[in-house]
Amino acid sequence: MNQALKSCDLFAHMSPDEAKLCLGCSGAVEEKYGKGGMVFCETDAPTRLFVLLEGAVSVGRDSADGRRAVMARIDRPGDLFGEVYVFLDQASYGCSVQAESPVRVLAIPAKFFYSTCEKRCSMHAQIIRNMLSVFARKAFFLTRRVSLLSSGSLRRKIASLLLEHRNPDGSLNLLMNREQMADFLGVTRPSLSRELAAMRDEGLLHINGKNISLPHPDRLKEFYDYSVP
Mean pLDDT by 10 residues, the chain (229 residues): 84 87 88 96 94 94 78 88 89 93 95 74 83 87 74 82 80 78 84 92 86 82 52
User: pTM to 2 decimals?
Assistant: 0.67
Q: How far apart are CA 122 and CA 133, in angstroms?
A: 17
User: What is the structure's pLDDT at 105?
Assistant: 97
CA distances for 78 relative to 52, 64, 93, 104, angstroms: 5, 33, 21, 11
Q: How far apart are CA 108 and CA 116, in angstroms?
A: 15
Q: Where are the beta strands (DSSP E) in 14-121?
A: 29-33, 38-40, 48-54, 57-62, 68-74, 80-81, 96-99, 103-109
Going by C-alpha positions, the residue among 155, 156, 42, 139 that lies closest to residue 97 is: 42
User: What is the structure's pLDDT at 47?
Assistant: 94
> CB–CB of 62/42 below 8 Å?
yes
> CB–CB of 79/3 below 8 Å?
no
Q: How far apart are CA 37 and CA 79, in angstroms?
A: 18
Going by C-alpha positions, the residue among 95, 58, 23 that lies closest to residue 179 is: 58
Q: How far apart are CA 101 and CA 103, in angstroms?
A: 6
User: What is the structure's pLDDT at 119?
Assistant: 62
Going by C-alpha positions, the residue among 123, 104, 105, 102 that lies closest to residue 113 is: 123
User: What is the structure's pLDDT at 17?
Assistant: 86
Q: How many CA atoms lie within 13 A of 1 on its CB side?
A: 15
Q: How far apart are CA 7 and CA 21, in angstroms?
A: 17
Q: Which domains does the chain have, with CATH numbers?
A: 3-144 (2.60.120.10), 151-222 (1.10.10.10)
> CB–CB of 41/19 below 8 Å?
no
Going by C-alpha positions, the residue among 105, 102, 63 that lies closest to residue 82 is: 105
User: What is the structure's pLDDT at 38?
Assistant: 96
